[in-house]
Chain A
Amino acid sequence: MTAQYHVVGESLERTDGVAHVTGRTLYTADLAFPGMLHLKVVRSPLHHALIRGVDLSAAERVPGFVRALTHADVPHNVYTILGLIGVEPEEEFVLPVDRVRYKGEPIVAILAETEAAAYEAVGKVQLDLEELPAVFDMDEALAPGAPIVTHWGNNTFMYEGHPCRRVRYGDVEAGFAQADHILEGEYRTSPIEHAPLETTGCIAVPEAGRFTVYTNTQAVYFSLDNTSIILGLQPNRLRFIGGTVGGGFGGKVDVIVEPLATLGAMRTGRPVRYVYNRQEEMQVSSTRSAETIRIKDGVMADGTIVARKVTGLADCGAYSRQTPYAITKFAANATGPYRIPNVWVDAYCVYTNRTPTSAMRGFGVTMGHFAIEVQMDKIAERCGIDPWTVRFRNAHRNGDVKPHRKVTSDATLIETMQAAARLVGHGLPPELAAMTSAPRTEWEGER
């Protein structure tokens, strides 16, 4: 038989492979333009403070200083990244006016002829800050009397008027009453920094009538559209050129560097480079959010879960960025790949004075699955049955309805677990080996 497929089953050389192994791939920070200025920002040394004054006079005297950018320079200074998909309200300051909400928040940008001069001038900016009480713990942020981080008076993101994303399906209390066992668990995850080897950065170059921005963003149009909103420029005056990203993992979708660099290019007429150093990448670029997940499960003696109540808290830090969306994903995935007939979820996006959090590989879902799978092992232990069996018995099958009312049509958990068992040489009992994701029989569907 003649080979018809040239890709499937073959190992293909990557189109960018030769450039990578010869070091010829050009990343954003490898580019340079004549007359290019360097942008560095003055960052808040405090977690929460009122800005009473900023004195630039010593910085202005540094040889090579070109100009500073303050909040007054930013045409549309308050924005929200997800505003593009209708998320409200606008909340993050490109450069804050009178209050900083996290340590490392940019206050003033400095443009200088060299990077060394930019650093030196940054070091000479005098800040007059009045420290405010800060909150770093989600439960404390939700308690009465907590310092308020947002400008709307409480520390939660509001979902259509509610302080949390809610899922209501079946009757959890009835489920708990029917259950043989009740299992409760609290799970906590830490913030995680993506730590890409190439730090976040861009270079904005003014051209006749428009700006070309070379950026290592993972989301070129996202960056372009937000920059256009912040700078009050028609999108056709911006040309964004992405390229090889030197590691992203979700961390390069936040549109933090492009607006300031482009504004610098607008104000000076010169190319402007704004690239994070390693310390900035680790300390001020967004992380995955920390979560606290509290689960109460009602379980039958055979391991079948009949009810689940979940309260999830995700720490978005001082600005929510992409975390409200992560919470929606968390709420939608609170049952994992398992069928549970009675479900109640309250998932909060909580503001604190920590570094803002955002996207990272499977955000919202990943942390939930950590909690859910540990919970599954505990269920197996409590019921005295094998952890594989618990998962097979609860696995979604085609036709099962999920708590958010979607009907499962592409279930593969059972087949995937069977394949995994084969790969690790784990013999499955005949009951599990014979199962498929085919719709439940009427009898099976009863419960």
Chain B
Amino acid sequence: MTVSTYFQPDSLPEALALLGEHGPDLLVIAGGTVAMPLINEGISLPAKVMGLRRVGLGGIEQRGDRLAIGAMATLTALTTLQEVPLLAEAARHTASWAVRNMGTVGGNLFTPPPGGDVATALLALDAQVELVGPAGARLLPLSGFWTGFMTTAAGPDELVARIVVPVAPGRHAFVKLGRKAANTPAVVTVAVRAAMDGEAVRDVRIALGAAGPHPLRSAGAEAAVEGRALTPEVIASAAGAAAEDAQPFSDQVASTWYRRRMVGVMVGRALAQLASAEQRGA
């Protein structure tokens, strides 16, 4: 509980050096909206903490047909991102205004379910994670980033520096079911992205949040719609497949039973949105 040192490195190399020096004893915090509540209640008792607010990773820049989003970009910064409307929509449906002003996109990748709404959208967008460590930088597809509940492929000496998102035309849908309209943990979150070939769906990604130990894609639902027009029958079979693929859990928000059913319903709604008229022009 009694923290002996709070490091505030001014650059990424300085941060990596501190991480190398203090190793796993050093708790990294970004916006602090996940880490600080645990420290305040004495659930997490770190002796040494490192804050990333000054390392200069808050920027968002274009890299060819991709967007490189600094890990320290706030959720508020994402809400107005016109290049990737799915991400903006996911950010708008995450937490409250003040939390969005503090919480970061990098931190969202480390948020245990039912959190991780932005991470779910990033998964549907085929995003990549840029990890930086003593050996330099490496790009990892987000689909290979999570290895289990609260575990990732990031090494103990690595930090997430950026998240790289393709900017491509296509349709998207974001559906989050919570117990209230705003600032609510997810019962289930669904993010869908697809290119369209006439009425047929191509390269579809259907990502589920709060439906497993980390955001996951439903291979069954994707196979059910890939290359097909979104008829009610196709949507229904995809919804059923998603409910089967989900690995739901019970917590204070919802039961396993309810989550599994809602995965089906929400995937159905998301696909219906994808098929809807407003998206045709996009």
Contact = CB atoms under 8 A, between A and B. Distances in A.
Interface of A: 63, 116-117, 119-120, 122-123, 277-279
A63 B2 CA distance: 10
Contact of B41 (A63, A117, A120, A279): A279
B42 interface: yes
B45 interface: yes
Interface string B24-52: 00000000000000000110010000000
B2 A123 contact: no
A116 B1 CA distance: 6
Nearest to B42: A119
Interface of B: 1-2, 41-42, 45
Contacts of A277: 41
- Grouping DSSP codes into helix (H, G, I), strand (E, B) and loop, the A interface class, with mixed when no group exceeds half, is helix
Contacts of B1: 116-117, 119-120, 123
A119 B2 CA distance: 9
Nearest to A119: B42
Given A63-B2, A123-B45, 11 more contacts: A116-B1, A116-B2, A117-B2, A119-B1, A119-B42, A120-B1, A122-B42, A123-B1, A123-B42, A277-B41, A278-B41
A278 B1 CA distance: 17
- Grouping DSSP codes into helix (H, G, I), strand (E, B) and loop, the B interface class, with mixed when no group exceeds half, is loop
A277 B42 CA distance: 11
Contacts of B2: 63, 116-117, 120
A120 B43 CA distance: 10
Nearest to A63: B2
A26 B165 CA distance: 49
| 8 tightest A-B CB contacts, nearest first | A119-B42, A120-B1, A119-B1, A116-B1, A116-B2, A279-B41, A120-B2, A277-B41
18 contacts: A63-B2, A116-B1, A116-B2, A117-B1, A117-B2, A119-B1, A119-B42, A120-B1, A120-B2, A120-B42, A120-B45, A122-B42, A123-B1, A123-B42, A123-B45, A277-B41, A278-B41, A279-B41
A195 B42 CA distance: 21
Contacts of A120: 1-2, 42, 45
Contacts of A279: 41
B3 to A, nearest CB: 8
Nearest to B40: A277
B180 to A, nearest CB: 15
B45 to A, nearest CB: 7
Contacts of B42: 119-120, 122-123
A123 B1 CA distance: 9
B190 to A, nearest CB: 30
